[in-house]
Structure formats: structure tokens, C-alpha cells
Chains A and B, each alone.
Chain A
Amino acid sequence: MNLHEYQGKELLSSMGVAIQRGYVATTVGEAESAYQRLKEETNTEYCVVKAQIHAGGRGKGGGVKLAKNEADLRTYAGNILGMMLKTPQTPGGMEGPGKLVKKVLIAEDCYAPDFDACKEYYVSILMDRETRRNVIIYSTEGGMDIEAVAENTPHLVHKEYIDPLAGIQGFQCRKIAFNLGLSGKAYAEMVKFIAQLYKAFVSSDASLFEINPCLKTGDDRIIAVDSKVSIDDNALYRHADLEAMRDTDEEDPTEVEAKEFDLNYVKLDGNVGCMVNGAGLAMATMDIIKLSGGEPANFLDVGGTADAERVEQAFRIILKDPNVKAILINIFGGIVRCDRVAQGVVDAYKNMGNINIPIIVRLQGTNADIAKKLIDESGLKVKSAILLKEAAELVTEALA
């Protein structure tokens, strides 16, 4: 689950990590009062208006602006709130429709008063699958696209692996601060920043913390100016406070609906829908669709219980996508009996009444023969197969 920048910062701040101060606003009026509060706290007229959407590169689409006075603030907040913000990471990229901005973060200009005395760093934490350890990735090249830095100047990207049983040690924090070229107060601040950041990462069950930039201010403080935070979905049961931060506006509405029915659905751009039990087989089914001349319209794992009700829900979700020209149902019955699933398909089909596209049902495993007979004799316009290969041929036929 991804958090907004302002939510990530709230989380960091609550765990003792220094952040850029700011207040979130949903209207221009709220933005103005946030500005007044900030002005009193920071003693400057300047502030930054930042669009809150789940995508990076917001500055490129005009979603981040430096306001130099209250009039600027009003203009920028007014422009950004309600805009369709396009960034390289929103669906379709800079050519796509963009994402609706519903909230802005009014944040202190932490580069003031002496911009040149500031320095931007990069710090992130994630679980490294190869070593099965958490790793802190850091660089002196902050404020830029870290993938480009790693590509062009790999020697400037450092990694520090943390022993899972011992946790982060002081020498590791010191090493990071030294490698970033810091000394004096800024060094001490960075040591503290890294230690707190790591503790926050583990205790919030995060799967990613990315602080870019992590800023050394003119007066040698170290603060998180941006935050990209993802939380491990599997751990949300022990973080009700974080779960409450979920913003379903940022997710595909059909995927949100599918989740309510406990269906694992991911929307794709193709023309053949699919309904499968098991994630691996679902991916393999998408591949079969492609090899048969179609493009998968979705990933959908119905899980272990494929009864009439779930099949019907799955049908409804797939059919919401107007691009779907055919549906392939692929069930390997193990514990689930195929005849039950077949009955589910027949019942769901009859209940829905108006499915006008070809349906191909491939049922294999327990009672596959009975299931095929059930489908074949149902009188419905449903084609059945037992072998995966036969199903693939039927998909090609349906698209022809």
C-alpha cells in the first residue's frame, strides 16, 4: 500500500525523523490558513505547494511550485487543486490523461535563506531479495532520478546491509554520514537521521522508504524534503493507523471493487479477459492468450473457492471493461471440484442473461469430464476444453 507524501512524512515525524514542515489542504481556503501557520513558524514568506498524488515526477507536470508570497500561494493552490496532473509515472505518462489532484501539501521552503549552502542527498531503504536483508541505499547525488545516477555513476550509489537479528548499528550510521562527506553538526544530524529512519522502516513494516531529496539545510540540519513510503500489505493487520491512510481514489475503481469480493484483479489493456484459480496459473493463462493472438485484458485470481457467486462477481468485473472481446476461464480443479465450478459458470451465465461475447471454459483436474459434459449440454454459447492447448486454439478461433 502506498502512502501520499504528507502521510509518509507524518509517519516519519511520529517516529522521530526530521521532516520538512507542512500542512495538507484540500481547498484554497485551507491552503491559505496553512500558509499563515507556516509563515509564523518559519519566519519566511516563501513556501512550496506540492500536489499529493501517488506518482513521482510531479514537478515535471507542474505539480510542485514555489510560492514567494500569499498571492502566489493562492494562484498555485488554485491551479494545482483539481488539475489533471501528468507525470512520467501517471498512467500513460505525459501523454496520458493524468491524475486528479485532490490535496496539496503546503510546505516550508527549507532551502531558504541560503540556497547555495544547502545540499541534497538520496536515501532509501528496502528489502533486498538477493540477500534477504534490509538495505540502505544512499548517494550524494540527491534530487535526481536515482536509476539514472546508478546507470551513469554507479560508484556514487552506496549500499549498507543490515543484520536482521542485530539491527542497525552505530558504526553503520557513521559510515553512511562519512561517505556522504559530512562533518560537524550535519554529520551528527545525519547519524541520528539514519538511525531513526531505519527504526521507523522496521516498526512500520514498510516495504519502501525513499527520501529524495534528503536535505542538509543552510544551518546544518538534515531533513526529509520528500517521502515515498510503501507499506507491506501483509502487515497491515498490525498497523490499523496506517491502513486508515489508504486512499482508494488513487487505485483503479474496479480493482478496489474486486478486492471487496476477495478477488485478486489487476486491470490490463488487452482484449481477452481471464478468470483463473491461482496466481501462477493466472499469469500463465495471460501468456497463453498472447500466444493465441490476443492480449490479456486482466489478471484475475478467483482463489480456492470458485462457486457460482464468485464466478458471477468475477464475470461482472471482467465485463466492466468494454475492450473485452472474449473470456477465457481456466480452472485447475484440485481440492475444488470442476463440476462445481462448471455449475457456477452455467448459473452465473444464466443469472446475468446478457453476455454477448464468446466464453471459453477450460476445466482440468477433479471431475473435469463431468464438468465438460455439463457445459456442453447447458445449451449456452460456451465452449469447453480440457487441455490447455485446446483452450488456446479456441481463443484464436474466437478472435478470428
Chain B
Amino acid sequence: MSVLVNKNSKVIVQGFTGKEGTFHATQMIEYGTQVVGGVTPGKGGTKHLDRPVFNTVVDAIASTKADVSIIFVPPAFGADAIMEAAEAGIKVIVCITEGIPVQDMVKVYAYLKTKNTRLIGPNCPGIITPDEAKVGIMPGFIHRKGRIGIVSRSGTLTYEAVDQVTKAGLGQSTCIGIGGDPIVGTTTKEAVELLMNDPETDGIIMIGEIGGGMEAEAAYWVKEHGTKPVVGFIAGQTAPKGRKMGHAGAIIGGADDTAEAKMKIMASCGIHVVESPANIGETMLKVLTKK
């Protein structure tokens, strides 16, 4: 089972022949992901990494029956690439691109409402279902197949959590990097919901950061519908107000989007909140064995 991607996922790469696309497509193929081709407008009909290149996503789907796309195009073309994939009928779109203008994403978000597509990202590390499919830029080797689902807004901090989970003797069902931008296609709550409904997931780790209301929304949902233990961490307890901490979305706007406020809400909703990012894995292990 797992969620979003598995060994049957047929993945295409948008921005296939570029530097980033080539590097990460190679890594994904080595991991065992079914990369069935890619899209680079103007290079249709050629081959790259021993796979067909198409001019459009429509062509790629017609030829390969792809249902997942991963996007590596430059930020100026990010919105366009997402909408092309959605219009063509891709079911899961993973957008790695960092730096897409916010007003572009305002339009994309509204556009996707009319399509039967799930967008992960942008500005995210992607999704991985260990031993089945890696649709992202994360280092595959730190993962181990298991029953913990991970949801996170950041890249390396997710790897940190994954590593701790693996070292604690647990493994991961699916890890979803939802992205660090102010507008992302899939929210923390939606990702948590997917994992909560996944029979192969026993526990969920939810890693958030300052800015926005996604973690609070997820926490309230967990309180109402949660059936599995959730361990949570919010990065940025020491971040000052009004300063952007790397991610475009990581900025404290008011009193309710500080790390402290979010952690308080999460704890009040029954989430096991850890203060130190060094304790994510062991807390999960403790919570699961207590059960």
C-alpha cells in the first residue's frame, strides 16, 4: 500500500535533460523508481538516460501511461509545468523547483481545484516509499522500509528525522516533503490524513516550522479523526518575528504562527510534541512501545 507513490508508479521527469533533472533522474532510476521518460520541449523524439524524451506531457502519457511527474524546471517556468501536467491528467505532481513567484502559485492553486490532481510542493524534497519508489531528491540510502509516515516542510530536517527513525530500529512507510513555500499543493493536514488512512502506517511524524497555519489545522484534524500516534516538532523556536528564515514560507506573521503557539496547539490536540529535534526518533519509538 503506502501512499502517493509505490513500485507501480510510472514517473516522468519535466525538465528531464537539464542538469538537475539529469542528476536526480539518474539517482531515482538507481533507486529502482520506474522512470519511464521525460519532457523537454523541443527535444521530443530523442533519448536521454536510455529513456524517451517528449515535447509535451500529453505525448509522454500517451506513450508511457505515466501517472506521476516530477518537475525540475527553473522557477520562471514552474507554474506552467505544473499546469501542463495537471491538464494532461497526471495524478501526482511533485514540484521540486524552488523560487516560483507567489502570484504564480495563487493562480496554480485555483487552477488545480478544477483538476483531479494532487500537487506536492513546490520547493520540496519530494516523496519516497522506501524500497519501492523515490520521487524526489532525498538520499535514498538513509531510508528503511517500515511503518512510520513522515510529513515535513523541509528537506534536510526530514532526512534528520528519517535517519533517527531508521536508527531507532523503525522504518518508513512513505515520507512526504510538502515544501517550504507559502502556498503548497498539499497541506500538512492533507498529508497527515493520507497517512492516517494508510493501513501500512502505524505512526506519523509531523515536522513543521514557523509561519502560516498548516500545523494548527493538521493538529485540530488529528484531534477529531486521529487513530494513530503522532509525534510533532516545529522548527524555529528561536526565530525572530518578521524575518524570513530561508524558506519563503518560514516567517512569523503574527501571534499564532510562532513555533511556541503551534507546539501548544499540537500538544493540546494530543500530539507528542518534542522540543528538541534530536529526540524525534526515540520519542516515536517510546510512543509506539507504550501503546
Which A residues fall within an 8 A CB radius of B?
Answer: 127, 129-130, 132-134, 163-165, 202, 205, 207, 232-235, 237-238, 264, 266, 268, 270, 276-291, 295-296, 299, 301, 332-335, 364-366, 387-389, 392
Contact = CB atoms under 8 A, between A and B. Distances in A.
A364 B163 contact: yes
Nearest to A278: B156
Nearest to B153: A280
28 contacts: A132-B183, A232-B101, A232-B102, A232-B103, A234-B99, A234-B100, A266-B243, A268-B240, A278-B154, A279-B247, A280-B155, A280-B156, A280-B247, A282-B246, A283-B239, A283-B250, A284-B233, A287-B235, A287-B237, A288-B277, A288-B278, A289-B238, A290-B237, A296-B238, A299-B239, A332-B163, A333-B139, A365-B163
Contact of A280 (B75, B152, B213): B152
Nearest to B233: A284
Nearest to B239: A283
A365 B246 contact: no
Contacts of A264: 246
**Which 7 pairs of residues, A with B, have the shortest CB-CB distance?**
A280-B154, A279-B246, A278-B156, A334-B139, A280-B157, A235-B101, A283-B235
Contact of B245 (A207, A279, A334, A365): A279
B288 interface: no
Contacts of B209: 280, 283
A284 B235 contact: yes
A276 B103 CA distance: 30
Interface residues on chain B, size class: 35 or more
A280 B238 contact: no
A366 B164 CA distance: 15
A392 B158 CA distance: 19
Nearest to B141: A366
B210 A283 contact: yes
Nearest to A368: B163
Given A163-B110, A279-B245, A283-B239, A235 B183 contact: no
B137 interface: yes
Contacts of A232: 101-103
B52 interface: no
A205 B103 CA distance: 6
A238 B237 CA distance: 35
A373 B137 CA distance: 27
A333 B239 CA distance: 24
B180 interface: yes
Contacts of B159: 332, 334, 365
A270 B142 CA distance: 33
Contacts of B99: 234
Given A129-B212, A280-B156, A283-B250, A207 B102 contact: yes
B154 A235 contact: no
Contacts of B164: 388
A132 B276 contact: no
B280 to A, nearest CB: 9
B275 interface: yes
B20 to A, nearest CB: 10
